[in-house]
Structure 1
C-alpha cells in the first residue's frame, strides 16, 4: 500500500458519559468508572417506564457551546460539533484545501429530541409555533452538515445510517474517501442523543435494556452470567483521518493507522443478530484481509459487547472463529460496561479507545464481570488495564447494528 493511500489518525475528540473530552474519558475508562446513573427526572413515574437510569453525558454542552449554537442544533449535532472541535485542535488544525477536506459524521437515530419537541409544540400550541429550524435540526445528516460548516469541508459531507454500527461505518467511509483520492483529510465519527422518554420506553418495550434500577453503575455487565441488557448512553466520538503522505508533509503527530475496513450484512432479522455469527465473521475477515494483518498479529479486540444475553456470546464465538487458536493471546475489552451504549456514537468512541489502547499499549478494562459466562472463549480484560507489550500491535474494533449491519476496523501501530 503506497503512503498516499495509507490512512492514519492524527486527531481525537469526544464528549461522553465519562468525560467532556478524550483525556478525561480515557482516564475514567482506565480507572474502571461507570457513566451510568439514575435519571433526575420524573419520566419513569409519569410514563410508567420500567427503566430509571442511563449513561448521560458527563459535561453539559452548554459548557462548550454558546447559547445561539445550542438553540440551532439538536443535541446530537451539539455533541458532534464539540467532539469535532477537539479532534481538529488535537490534529493541529491542519492547513488543508477545503476541496480536499471531508466530513463523515453519522447518527443511528438522528434528531429525536427536535422531532418530538416539535410534535409536542404542534399539538399544544399550533403550527405557527413550530420553529423554522426544525427540519435542519432533526435531519440525520445534521451533525455531519454542522461539522462540515464548522470546518469548511467541501470534499463531501456524509452521514451513513446503520444503527449502532453507524459511527464505525462513518470512519470506514472516511478511510475510503482518502484511499480513493477524494480527500486528504476527513473528520469522521458518530453521535447520539436519545436519552428521552420515548426512545427509552421503546427500547424497554423490546426487552433489550437492563432493569437494574437499584444499581445503575453495575448494570452494564458484558459476558457476566447475570447480564440482562444494555444501558442507553449518549455522546460523540470524532477522529481526524489523514493520508500518511499529507500527515508526514506537515509533521503531524500520528496516533495509529486504520489499516482495514470490513463490512457485511446478516440479511437475517431486523433486530436479532444471525445466530451463527456468519456476517460478523465475514466483516472481521474482510478487514484483516484488507489490512494485511494476520490473525497471529492481533493483540487486542474492542468488542461490540452490549451486555445482552444472546449477542455477547455470538460475537465471542465469531472472534474465536476468525482468530482460531491465536485468540488465546488477544486481550478482549468491552468498554460499554463503562460508557453504556452510545448507539450511533458507539463505534466511533470505541475506535478512539482502540486507537488509544495501541498508542499507549494498554487495553482498557471491562467492569462488572463478577461471574464470567462459562461459554466465553476469550481472554477478557477485567477490572484493571492490561499492558499490550512491545513491538508492532494490531487490534480489531467491532460494531454491529439493528438491521444486520456489521463493521470491523483493523487498527495498527505506526
Structure 2
C-alpha cells in the first residue's frame, strides 16, 4: 500500500513538472496582473449602497478626473466668474498635453461651452488644462482646489494632482468617492448636467462623438464619464433613471471598454432590481469578489490561440505609449486612416479636414487627429482620422482611393 502511494506521488510530481515545463501554471499564477475590478451602485436620492464590490479599493481615476474639473467649472459659471461665451486662452503647457486632445495650439482660444463639450465627449486633455489655468492660475493650483473640493464633498480617499487624469502616481480615488462626486454634480449642478448626454458636437466643422457607449445603449442612461489609462484599466461613472428613480454607478479596472460597459449594465440592473424589490437597501451587503476568479477572468480575456508547443500566446498588447501618453479615455483599440505626413501642423490639419469632407457620412464617429512624430526640424505631422472600426477604416481608404487620394489604414498599436 505504501509502495503504491509512493509510486502515485512520484507520478504526480512528474506530471506537475511536465506541466510546468510545457508552460502551464496554476490559474492564480496565469493572471497577467492582480485584479483591479471594483464597483459600487448607489441610490441618487439617499446615497444608500445598492451593490458594491471592493468599493474602497484605491486606484487611478484616469479621465473620471474631468468630472471634478467640470464641477469646478460649473461652480465658476454659477458664481458668474465666467460665462458660456467666455474665451479661455491656450498656453504652451496646455497645448503640449498628451492625447486624447483637440490639438489646440498656443495662442488659441476656446469658449467655455466648447470646453465643456470637448471634456464630456472627446475627454480632451489639452482643454482640461486650459480650464485649470483659467480658474486656478496654474494646473498645480487647480489640482489643490480639486482636492479641497473633494474633501468638502466627503471624498476622503481622493487626491488630485492634475486636471485631466493623465498618469500620476499621486492621483488616486475609489469607486465610493467617485459615486459621491457623481451624485454631487447632478445635485449641485443639475442645470448643466444635460451636457453629459451630448452624443456629438462639432469642433471647427468636424464632428466629435462621445466615448460613452453605455449611455447610447442602456435604457434610462443619461451620462456621465468614461476614463482610461493603462495603469487603471477602463473606468466609468454612469447614471440612469427609471420610473422616477435615479441611481449612480461606478466601475474601476475593466480590462476592455466592452467588458466595463457590460459589467456596469449588470450592476445597474442589480441596483434597479433592489429598488423595485423594496429590499432594505440600508443593509445591502458588500460583495467581495473572489480574487482568483477575477484574475482567471482577466487572464482568459487576454489569451489568444495556442502556439505549437501548447503555450498560450498572449493577445496583442495595448499600444506601448498608452500609459506614457495617457490616452485620455479614447478607445485604445480604435483604427485610424492616414492621408499624409507633413513638416508642419497646418497642412496636415488641412489634409485631414479635406479627407473628412470627402468621406462624408463615413466619418460621423471619427475625429481629426494630427499626430506629431519626432521633434525640432525632424518633426513630422501625420494627418489622420481616428475612431474607426477596422471595417470602417478599410472602407474609408477604399473611398479615398477612388477619389485618387493617398490613404493607408493604421492599426491601433501603430
TM-score between the two structures when normalised by the length of structure 2:
0.28
How high is the TM-score relative to the length of structure 1?
0.28
Q: Greater CA radius of gyration, 1 or 2?
A: 2
Tell me: higher relative CO, structure 1 or 2? Use CA pairs within 8 A at least 6 residues apart: 1
